[in-house]
A = this chain, B = another copy of it.
Amino acid sequence: MVDHVPVIILHRPQLGENIGSAARVMLNFGLTQLRLVAPRDGWPNAAADTLSAGAFEAGVEVAVFDTLEAAIADLGTVLATTARPRGMEKPVFDAASGVEFIATRGLKAGILFGAENHGLPSEAVGLADAILTYPVNPAFASLNLAQAVGVFCAAWGSNAGAIGRWAGEKSGVDDPAPKEDLIRMFEHLEEELERAGYFYPPDKTPLMKTNIRNAFIRGNWTTQEVRTFRGAIKALALGRGKARVRRED
């Protein structure tokens, strides 16, 4: 029935206990794909095993990645969980509406959770299609990592029927490109902007990059559109030379 079970991605998790607890609550609600980006204490992890209550043997599969970019490369929808809205130009969902959002898009989805101490860095949030946030008490907003995973998984479990309902529907627009293509496009654009002296002053560069990425990511570009725009970047970066050559003919 449910075609696209979301992937849970923990970015630089610190405590094995939280990884194990996250795996347990994932499987409680039928999620089985766990990705770890650079877990502090390596993998496998004895504390994770203990707290998992057998979830790894019972069905949760773990994949470990060095970078977030690699961990989301094959995904079509990424939600970044954060307690603060961040002032980014992205849609913001609570757990229930986030589940509906990924179901409506009908693409392989991943939910991104930050480290226990610092949450997600802005660059990581910048790679997401939308922000997932919970209606927490502003005076005591820091959820335990595994609890944050649990709240999403429970919402997904409650709405799993809706996912089946939405999975087949398609809009007039082709599927968005895999994140890998988009990331390469960003790198290409930023590299050329860098060479062109666009990023100034240097301390504003990360924010400028994030703002540009946020603007582009909302368009849900298809693979073809990414390819087209990369051609345009290349033309802008190199083309004036070419144009001059032609004029000299």
Contacts and interface: CB of A to CB of B under 8 A. Distances in A.
Interface residues of A, number: 90
Contacts of A171: 85-87, 92, 131, 133
Interface in A23-59: 24-25, 27-30, 53, 55, 58-59
A139 B32 CA distance: 13
A150 interface: yes
A206 to B, nearest CB: 14
Most buried by B among A146, A237, A239: A239
- Total copies of this chain within the assembly: 2
A118 interface: no
Interface in A69-98: 84-87, 89-92, 94-96
Given A95-B158, A154-B134, A158-B94, A225 B211 contact: yes
Interface of A: 21, 24-25, 27-30, 53, 55, 58-59, 84-87, 89-92, 94-96, 131, 133-144, 146-147, 150-151, 154-155, 157-158, 160-161, 163-166, 169-174, 189, 192-193, 195-198, 208, 211-212, 214-216, 218-222, 224-225, 228-229, 231-233, 235-243, 246
